């Protein structure tokens, strides 16, 4: 007799589903594609008119090396670039600061100034590509550097398309690359919303992320509940700053994971769209349909990749990508099979992109919208995840707000409990991981990972020294003083920040100025 399985979110999976498992109000929960509540997708035609945006997350070592990888990906058919930054850049430190030692160029590209940004996007038509930047606390700084480089090449802000992650709240929950306390961090997010509405109107000003919470162990229900609760907090911050909901909400976007549990992942994406549409219409009074559309990017689950028998990851990534597409994603990054070992090689990155291209052009996935609509199992799962996520969001609200819940450690604690449960299931063999706890081999084949040049740190330090000796030091000092004054007052800080970066102030100098005004966040802090 087969043991009854449970979903990742904790509800039982029936061996057989029938019409009796469907919600009684299924028609109103579904709607039509491109119409409220957007369960069946945010656009009427979805992929039947064009496929999702195919992104590849890349960035390592120097800006020049990363630029070469971007050109390779564009030649291979990538439709959008997704930039990984090294840890010092993510934390707002220059490459020559002592705290950056040993981390320069390791997990992404080192960007210290406008000169690095020029090299990163050299000979790339910024009015024709869509660029996503995985950067949070200093997200506004990297966006302004990108805009400055585009302007130098004759591309106005109105022509730029892309996304900055800019999701600081999830950093306090799952990732830890925060700089400032939550209150000024939320102000910086709101200032970015207002700046982009005027200066970079097609830019997605935030990618509210559940991906990192999922990688830390969140279940699908937790992933969407805590992500949407953070989304509510950002909406409230923008409204408190005087912005009208329909002025900024259409540029909000989201970022989710795609796991190997394909059916539950499809249900998760559908449930998330439905919850967000109701929130925006009923709680915030949004009138513009675009304000109610949950548009999202998906990345396949890095945490599910194994260093053992790494080629098996090609299969995992294909299944995960399939779930994202069936769930209605707007863009997709497929992980390379070797990412559990090191930064992906060029061949591995190309194979990851080819996986998406097979899904888009060799299958019939793009022939119809929402293929699982009406499926007994998927509709039942969608309703169950929706109910579980709403209940979790109510528990967040019981603390007062998402920030209050973060300060109480609620989300982090819930995710850690789920991660512990999953680890126990893998250790016991109850949860099968092919090549790790079942179907193992005695000896692994040798694999040569991509190595990052250890001399990068010294080279970046030399570049910074040259920059500081050649620039107009007085102009930088004046620009940073203007930034400080804005941070101490109520002015939008992005305008003086842009002028400081134009004068060739470094990322570390800009973030350091804000640190001096706003302070650093420590988990024991209260505000």
Q: What is the CATH number of the domain that holds 187?
A: 3.20.20.240
Is 54:44 a contact under the CB 8 Å cutoff? no
Domain membership of residue 277 (yes or no) is yes
- The Cα–Cα gap between 322 and 300 comes to 10
The secondary structure of 182-228 as a DSSP string is HHHHHHHHHHHHHHHHHH-TTEE-EEEE-HHHHHTT--HHHHHHHHH
Domain membership of residue 256 (yes or no) is yes
Token code pair at residue 419:
């991660």
- The Cα–Cα gap between 281 and 273 comes to 12
Q: What residues contact 56, with CB distance under 8 A and at least 6 apart?
A: 73, 78, 81, 82, 333, 334, 349, 352, 353
Task: Report pLDDT for 60.
Answer: 67
Q: Considering only CA atoms, which of 519, 515, 509 is closest in space to residue 477? A: 509
Q: For residue 81, what is the enclosing H or E element?
A: strand 80-84
- Spatial strand order of the sheet with 252-258 comes to 203-204, 161-164, 130-134, 80-84, 53-58, 331-333, 296-300, 252-258, 206-209
Task: Report pLDDT for 5.
Answer: 84
The separation between CA 329 and the C-alpha centre of its own chain, rounded to angstroms, equals: 13
Task: Report pLDDT for 527.
Answer: 39
Domain membership of residue 107 (yes or no) is no
Residue 198, classified by CB atoms within 10 Å of its CB into exposed (0-12), middle (13-18) or buried (19+), is: exposed
Judged by DSSP in three states, 34 sits in coil
What are residue 525's phi and psi, to 5 degrees?
-65, 155
Beta bridge mates, 257: 299
Q: What is the pLDDT along the chain (527 residues), one digit of tens a residue?
A: 346 688 999 999 999 999 999 999 999 999 999 999 999 999 999 999 999 999 876 666 789 989 998 998 899 888 788 898 999 999 999 999 999 999 999 889 999 999 999 999 999 999 999 999 999 999 999 999 999 999 999 999 999 999 999 999 999 999 899 999 999 999 999 999 999 999 999 999 999 999 999 999 999 999 999 999 999 999 999 999 999 999 999 999 999 999 999 999 999 999 999 999 999 999 999 999 999 999 999 999 999 999 999 999 999 999 999 999 999 999 999 999 998 887 788 899 899 999 999 999 999 999 999 999 999 999 999 999 999 999 999 999 999 999 999 999 999 999 999 999 999 999 999 999 999 999 999 887 776 666 667 789 999 999 999 999 999 999 999 999 999 999 999 999 999 999 999 999 999 999 999 999 999 988 764 43
Q: For residue 423, give its domain range.
A: 165-363+370-428
Task: Report pLDDT for 18.
Answer: 96
Domain membership of residue 17 (yes or no) is no
Domain membership of residue 215 (yes or no) is yes
Total domain count, the chain: 1
Domain membership of residue 29 (yes or no) is no
Domain membership of residue 330 (yes or no) is yes
Domain membership of residue 411 (yes or no) is yes
Task: Report pLDDT for 1.
Answer: 38
Task: Give the predicted TM-score (pTM) of the model.
Answer: 0.91
Task: Report pLDDT for 449.
Answer: 66
């Amino acid at each position: 007799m087969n043991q009854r399985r449970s979903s990742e979110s904790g509800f039982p999976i029936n061996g057989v589903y029938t019409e009796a498992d469907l919600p009684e109000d299924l028609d109103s929960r579904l709607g039509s594609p491109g119409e409220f509540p957007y369960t069946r997708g945010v656009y009427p035609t979805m992929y039947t008119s064009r496929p999702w945006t195919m992104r590849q997350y890349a960035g390592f070592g120097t800006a020049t090396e990363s630029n070469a990888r971007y050109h390779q990906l564009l030649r291979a058919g990538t439709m959008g670039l997704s930039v990984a930054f090294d840890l010092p850049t993510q934390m707002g430190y220059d490459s020559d600061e002592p705290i950056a030692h040993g981390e320069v160029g390791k997990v992404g590209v080192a960007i210290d100034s406008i000169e690095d940004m020029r090299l990163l996007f050299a000979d790339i038509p910024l009015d024709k590509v869509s660029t996503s930047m995985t950067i949070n606390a200093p997200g506004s700084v990297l966006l302004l550097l990108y805009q400055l480089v585009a302007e130098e090449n004759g591309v106005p802000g109105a022509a730029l398309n892309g996304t900055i992650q800019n999701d600081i709240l999830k950093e306090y929950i799952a990732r830890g690359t925060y700089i400032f306390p939550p209150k000024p961090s939320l102000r910086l997010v709101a200032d970015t919303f207002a700046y982009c509405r005027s200066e970079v109107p097609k830019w997605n000003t935030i990618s509210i992320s559940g991906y990192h919470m999922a990688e830390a162990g969140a279940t699908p229900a937790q992933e969407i509940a805590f992500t949407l609760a953070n989304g509510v907090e950002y909406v409230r911050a923008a409204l408190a700053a005087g912005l009208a909901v329909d002025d900024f909400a259409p540029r909000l976007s989201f970022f989710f994971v795609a796991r190997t549990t394909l059916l539950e992942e499809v249900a998760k994406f559908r449930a998330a769209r439905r919850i967000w549409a109701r929130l925006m219409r009923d709680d915030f009074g949004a009138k513009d349909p675009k304000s109610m559309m949950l548009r999202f990017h998906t990345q396949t689950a890095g945490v599910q990749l194994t260093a053992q028998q790494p080629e098996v990851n090609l299969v995992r990534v294909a299944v995960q990508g399939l779930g994202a597409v069936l769930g209605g994603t707007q863009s997709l990054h497929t992980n390379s099979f070797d990412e559990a070992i090191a930064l992906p090689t060029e061949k591995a990155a190309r194979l990851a992109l080819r996986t998406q291209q097979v899904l888009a052009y060799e299958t019939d996935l793009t022939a119809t919208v929402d293929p699982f609509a009406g499926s007994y199992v998927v509709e039942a799962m969608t309703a169950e995840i929706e109910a579980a996520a709403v209940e979790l969001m109510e528990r967040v609200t019981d603390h007062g707000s998402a920030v209050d819940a973060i300060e109480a450690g609620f989300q982090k604690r819930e995710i850690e409990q789920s991660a512990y449960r999953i680890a126990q299931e893998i250790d016991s063999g109850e949860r099968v991981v092919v090549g790790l706890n079942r179907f193992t081999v005695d000896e692994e084949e040798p694999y040569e990972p991509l190595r990052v040049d250890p001399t990068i740190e010294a080279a970046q330090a030399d570049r910074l020294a040259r920059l500081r000796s050649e620039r107009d030091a007085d102009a930088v000092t004046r620009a940073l003083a203007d930034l400080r004054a804005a941070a101490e007052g109520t002015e939008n800080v992005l305008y003086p920040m842009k002028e400081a970066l134009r004068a060739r102030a470094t990322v570390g100098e800009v973030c350091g100025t804000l640190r001096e005004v706003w302070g650093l966040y420590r988990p024991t802090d209260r505000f």
